[in-house]
């Protein structure tokens, strides 16, 4: 269980760090430049918000090994921002005039000489270099607490971060002026190792209720439904009813395709063939790698009528298991395997003809950056699905700025980055204050929120609500808690504390909501595990040997599902339109403004919606009340649960056609 921090103190700390590093984030302006260089240059933005005396557990052990990262300065920060804006904005004369990876690196990346100087400094200080991307945007390295303190005077300390012990600086780190001149930011804390996959299961974490002596066994309940409303179950009176539909067993790929309108674009595209994403490559990034993914996806495909994947249509770039690091902190290969399985099944299910490239990180910190750079530095794909995030924006200001520079590279090259918005609503339950999750909160990525989806018996779209579930157990014919019960999970989103409102959101996101800042998400898709998606997996049972249990079909949800479903739809849209979207947000908002074929506007239902759920592992019965996402609310038009609305194939195609209308053409 994570502990809580007082909101005012956290926000004050965040704002202090922002001011100290002179960081103003907007679409086209990040202002993240190298600090001035006196004899010893301080990096106040390297201190994360959670590194406070009140959270201290004392000095970190000197021999503890810590992963750290240097973010180097771009040669032309404002130029990189201007390019990313121009090539991504329909109607701009430079729209889609992306740079090749080599051209972007030669124009904006730090010089080879300055990069070599930083790397040599780290080696001389005794650090072990673990990641050096071709872009030279950052260096990932490791050192002991003693080495890091000696090199940066950070006085590393152990802190309690909501129940987890993390090491971070207790004072502002410094660098010698000669080195600092090339460095935009420093990360010498373990906050990045709190990056987590954003998946959720209907039964995960279920805790048996206290047993009264006279408590009767759970009442037998109806089975899960294969389509919305197939079965119903009797419950104690709730919202004026005593019967509710049962939770879904998990939608199949054909149900998702049908509900989100794939058949309509197949009829209307006029090309004589159905859109399936052929000729497109969707990249997926997660930590570690499943040892059984190819056999799993093919067994799954045979079960649900999808084409088999081959070594040509499914490729992966993954570290050898001997290179996996920080497994305990990152929840290990078994903790990330479901994420990879969801991502691959969701992309293949929505774009069956697309190629998939999986790139695994050696951990959930710097390893994810290295995985991203392997794609960007050679432009191995132009759609990248990333179903993971931090808890809110609780990473250092230096880390935020460094990650944004990687995103600027993606936008400048015409690569669209899609990130899940998170599964803990406004994060108050975990952080003690309200925050959207990063990287989804960045204005340079497409943030995908979540919905609860109802699909009819014939496969047609029935309805959607915002994803936010409160769950209440039923014991002896009564609810354990007052209705609606305890918040369980819901889509992330909300107002960033760091990033200014991007131009593409102005006039669409209500001023009363934005208050001049970036609001996420941008779009959404089904994420509720009680209306979830079936995946196939051979679960890892030992993180050391990577042995697995037999193949099984399971039901998953989370914005981890919504993100790759959206990425797959965009791949189909690119195929049918003949257009590459790159960073798609300006085109998404422009197409939404035109409104000919928009996302499905998700609004609050007229009456409270709920599902009956019986845990298959415990037999306990619950009522799940829907569309209750903490302080985030669905509304007509844009909202901070579902963004512009639920993504569907016709709208994805409309976005691509918007790109076609605003085409500038060419690469250089």
Which band of pLDDT confidence, cut at 50, 70 and 90, is reported for residue 39? low
Distances from the Cα of 221 to the Cα of 218, 231, 481, 532, angstroms: 9, 10, 20, 19
Whether 34 has a pLDDT exceeding 70, the answer reads no
State residue 207's pLDDT score: 46
Q: Give me the mean pLDDT over the 478-500 stretch.
A: 97
Whether 628 has a pLDDT exceeding 80, the answer reads yes
State residue 662's pLDDT score: 57
Q: Are strands 523-526 and 533-537 parallel, antiparallel or unpaired?
A: unpaired
What burial class does residue 346 get, using C-beta atoms within 10 Å of its C-beta: 0-12 exposed, 13-18 middle, 19+ buried? buried
CA distance 627 to 490: 8
Q: How many CA atoms lie within 13 A of 136 on its CB side?
A: 22
Mean pLDDT of the chain: 90
Q: Give the contacts of 193 (CB within 8 A, at least 6 positions apart).
A: 67, 166, 326, 329, 330, 363, 364, 365
Whether 29 has a pLDDT exceeding 50, the answer reads no
By the 8 A CB rule, do 410 and 459 touch?
no
**What is the pTM assigned to this prediction?**
0.92
Q: Give me the mean pLDDT over the 538-559 stretch.
A: 97
CA distance 419 to 448: 6
Q: Starting from the edge strand earliest in sequence, which strands make up the sheet with 156-161, in order?
A: 56-59, 156-161, 164-169
Q: DSSP labels for 189-251?
A: SSGGGG-EE--B-SSTT--PPPPPTTPPPPPP-PPPBSSTTS-EEEEEEETTEEEEEBPBS-B
Give the least confident one: 35-49, 333-347, 608-622: 35-49
State residue 204's pLDDT score: 77
Q: Give me the mean pLDDT over the 635-642 stretch.
A: 97
Whether 361 has a pLDDT exceeding 50, the answer reads yes
Q: Give me the mean pLDDT over the 88-108 stretch.
A: 97
Q: What angle do CA 660, 666, 668 make, to 5 degrees?
A: 150
State residue 663's pLDDT score: 58
Q: What percent of the chain is predicted at pLDDT more than 90?
A: 85
Q: Which two tokens stand for residue 113?
A: 């000489």
Q: What percent of the chain is predicted at pLDDT more than 70?
A: 89
State residue 233's pLDDT score: 96
Whether 178 has a pLDDT exceeding 80, the answer reads yes
Which band of pLDDT confidence, cut at 50, 70 and 90, is reported for residue 219? very low
Whether 267 has a pLDDT exceeding 60, the answer reads no
- The domains of the chain are located at 7-195, 241-661
Binning the chain into helix, strand and coil, the percentages to the nearest 5 are 30, 25, 45
What are 428-465's pLDDT values in tens digits? Answer: 999 999 999 999 999 999 999 999 999 999 999 999 99
Whether 332 has a pLDDT exceeding 70, the answer reads yes
Whether 421 has a pLDDT exceeding 90, the answer reads yes
Which band of pLDDT confidence, cut at 50, 70 and 90, is reported for residue 597? confident
For domain 241-661, which CATH number applies: 3.40.190.10, 1.10.760.10, 3.40.50.200, 3.60.15.10? Answer: 3.40.50.200
Give the least confident one: 38-52, 442-456, 468-482, 617-631: 38-52
Neighbours of 79 (CB within 10 A): 13
Whether 31 has a pLDDT exceeding 80, the answer reads no
Alpha helices (H) in 331-426, listed in sequence order: 332-350, 366-376, 397-413
Q: Give me the mean pLDDT over the 627-652 stretch.
A: 97
Q: Give me the mean pLDDT over the 40-52 stretch.
A: 95
Q: Give the contacts of 450 (CB within 8 A, at least 6 positions apart).
A: 421, 423, 466, 467, 490, 491, 524, 525, 526, 527, 528, 557, 558, 559, 561, 562, 641, 642
Q: Which has the closest alpha carbon to 354: 295, 462, 277?
A: 277
By the 8 A CB rule, do 156 and 148 touch?
yes
What are 504-544's pLDDT values in tens digits? Answer: 999 999 999 999 999 999 999 999 999 999 999 999 999 99
Q: Give me the mean pLDDT over the 611-622 stretch.
A: 92
State residue 598's pLDDT score: 86
Q: Which two tokens stand for residue 99?
A: 């740079």
Give the residue with greater pLDDT, 269 vs 231: 231
């Amino acid at each position: 269980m994570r502990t809580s921090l007082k909101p005012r103190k956290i926000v004050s700390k965040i704002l202090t760090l922002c001011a100290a590093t002179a960081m103003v984030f907007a679409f086209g302006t990040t202002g993240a430049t190298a600090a001035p260089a006196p004899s010893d240059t301080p990096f106040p933005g390297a201190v994360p918000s959670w590194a406070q005396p009140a959270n201290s557990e004392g000095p970190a052990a000197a021999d503890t090994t810590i992963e750290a990262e240097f973010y180097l300065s771009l040669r032309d920060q404002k130029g990189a921002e201007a390019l990313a804006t121009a090539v991504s904005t329909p109607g701009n004369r430079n729209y889609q005039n992306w740079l090749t990876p080599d051209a972007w690196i030669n124009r904006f990346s730090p010089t080879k000489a300055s990069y070599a100087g930083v790397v040599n400094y780290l080696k001389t200080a005794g650090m072990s270099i673990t990641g050096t991307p071709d872009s030279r945007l950052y260096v990932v390295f490791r050192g002991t607490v003693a080495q890091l303190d000696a090199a940066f005077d950070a006085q590393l300390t152990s802190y309690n971060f909501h129940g987890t012990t993390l090491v971070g600086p207790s004072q502002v780190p410094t660098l010698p002026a000669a080195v600092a001149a090339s460095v935009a930011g420093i990360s010498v804390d373990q906050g990045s190792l709190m990056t987590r996959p954003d998946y959720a299961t209907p039964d995960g974490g279920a805790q048996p209720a206290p047993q009264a002596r006279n408590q009767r066994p759970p009442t037998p309940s109806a089975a899960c439904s294969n389509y919305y409303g197939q079965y119903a179950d009797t419950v104690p009176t709730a919202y004026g009813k005593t019967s509710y539909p049962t939770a879904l067993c998990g939608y199949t790929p054909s149900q998702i395709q049908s509900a989100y309108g794939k058949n309509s674009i197949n009829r209307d595209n006029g090309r004589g063939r159905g859109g399936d994403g052929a000729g497109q490559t969707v990249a997926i990034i997660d930590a570690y790698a499943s040892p059984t993914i190819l056999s799993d996806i093919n067994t799954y495909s045979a079960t649900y009528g999808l084409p088999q994947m081959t070594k040509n249509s499914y490729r992966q770039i993954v570290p050898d298991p001997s290179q996996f690091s920080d497994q305990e902190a990152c929840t290990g290969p078994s903790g990330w395997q479901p994420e990879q399985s969801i991502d691959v099944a969701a992309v293949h299910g929505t774009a069956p003809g697309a190629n998939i490239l999986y790139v695994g990180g050696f951990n959930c910190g710097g390893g994810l950056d290295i995985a991203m750079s392997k794609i960007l530095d050679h432009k191995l794909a132009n759609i990248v699905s990333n179903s993971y995030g931090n808890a809110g924006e609780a990473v250092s200001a230096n880390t935020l700025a460094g990650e944004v520079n990687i995103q600027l590279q993606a936008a400048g090259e015409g690569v669209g980055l899609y990130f899940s918005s998170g599964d803990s609503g406004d994060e108050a339950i975990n952080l003690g204050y309200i925050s959207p999750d990063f990287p989804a909160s960045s204005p340079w990525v497409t943030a995908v929120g979540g919905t609860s989806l109802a699909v009819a018996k014939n496969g047609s779209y029935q309805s959607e609500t915002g994803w936010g579930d409160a769950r209440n157990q039923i014991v002896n014919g009564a609810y354990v808690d007052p209705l609606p019960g305890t918040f369980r999970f819901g889509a992330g989103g909300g107002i960033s504390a760091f990033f200014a409102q991007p131009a593409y959101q102005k006039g669409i996101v209500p001023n009363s909501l934005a208050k001049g800042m970036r609001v996420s998400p941008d779009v959404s898709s089904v994420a509720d595990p009680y209306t979830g998606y079936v995946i196939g997996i051979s679960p890892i049972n030992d993180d050391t040997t990577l042995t697995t249990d037999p193949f099984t079909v399971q039901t998953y949800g989370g914005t981890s599902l919504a993100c790759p479903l959206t990425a797959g739809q965009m791949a189909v849209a690119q195929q049918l339109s003949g257009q590459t979207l790159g960073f798609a947000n300006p085109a998404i908002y422009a197409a939404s403004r035109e409104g000919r074929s928009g996302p499905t506007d998700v609004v609050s239902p007229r009456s409270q919606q709920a599902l009956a759920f019986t845990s298959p592992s415990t037999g306990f019965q619950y009522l799940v009340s829907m569309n209750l996402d903490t302080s985030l609310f669905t509304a007509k038009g844009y909202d901070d649960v579902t963004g512009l609305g639920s993504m569907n194939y016709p709208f994805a195609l409309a976005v691509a056609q918007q790109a076609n209308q605003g085409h500038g053409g060419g690469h250089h």
